[in-house]
Amino acid sequence: AVQACLTLKVLFGLPLWQTVGLVESLIRMAGLDWRVPDYSALCRRQARIGVQIPYRRTGRPLNLLIDSTVVKFCGDGALSGDCFAIPCRVTNGWARKHGPSRRRQWRKVRIAMDTETGDIRAVEFTSSRQGDSPLLPDLLSQIPEGEEIATVTADGAYDTRRCQTAIIEHGADAFGHSFGPMAVMPSLPTRRNGRAWKEDCPAAVARNEILRATRHLGRALWKKWAGYHVRSRIEAYPFMV
């Protein structure tokens, strides 16, 4: 009940008192004799409630797109995070006259999105100082056991041995065998100054194949051949939220 009330609060941008009134009205219209959480209960619970987001399985291997974006949640030009929200135009005017009230604070959000459905399958929320590539294994670990992954597409920042290994190992775990034709395939462009790795593991073999294909076909043709430009979907996702 508390989570349902807080969901309506966030969805419609309502204060807590209006949220309680909205839910009470909906229950009366439905002819139900249900108790609505009061203002104090919602105020206490909203800070620490654990939100359970349902996970919908697709019944097919996933084609994951990986990307990151930076979110400003405090400082000049953003909502300050106080108990009430101040419109940005007001805070901007105040900052121009009196100077910024506090330092800007940023957080980095990394998401893994299903190419076909656009559903977000994994999220990592960290400080802005945290690098991208070390968190790819954590993103892949959020995929439930038994959910198969066909491809993982990300930018050149993830061209590291650790990321390539995480992709290959997750594919081996999902399909129940080691690296081979049925394992998960990475679609990570190599760095422009990248060199061949010592082929001492399946991840290095897969990465060197990408490097050889890039040098033979050219970077633009390889991206078209590998379907790399599908990443534009996840790059546009923050503007659709």
Residue 84 DSSP class: S
- The 10s digit of each residue's pLDDT in 128-161 is 787 778 888 888 888 888 888 888 888 888 888 8
**Alpha carbons 27 and 133: distance in angstroms, whole number:** 48
Question: Is this model's pTM higher than 0.85 or not?
Answer: no
Beta strand 149-153 with 120-127 is: unpaired
- In percent, the amount of the chain with pLDDT more than 90 equals 5
**Alpha carbons 77 and 83: distance in angstroms, whole number:** 17
What is the three-class DSSP state of 65? strand
- The 10s digit of each residue's pLDDT in 20-71 is 999 999 999 999 888 898 888 888 888 888 777 677 787 888 888 898 887 7
Higher pLDDT, 74 or 117: 117
**Alpha carbons 147 and 205: distance in angstroms, whole number:** 25
**Band of pLDDT at residue 235, cut at 50, 70 and 90:** confident
Concatenate the DSSP letters of all residues of 12-47 into one string: HT--HHHHHHHHHHHHHHTT---PPP-HHHHHHHTT
CA distances from 3 to 12, 42, 84 (A): 14, 9, 20
Question: CB under 8 Å to 162, separation ≥6 — which residues?
Answer: 133, 134, 136, 137
Question: b/e for 126-146, b at 16 or more Cβ within 10 A?
Answer: beeeeebbebbeebbeebeee
What's the token pair of residue 53? 């987001």
Q: Does residue 115 have a pLDDT over 70?
A: yes
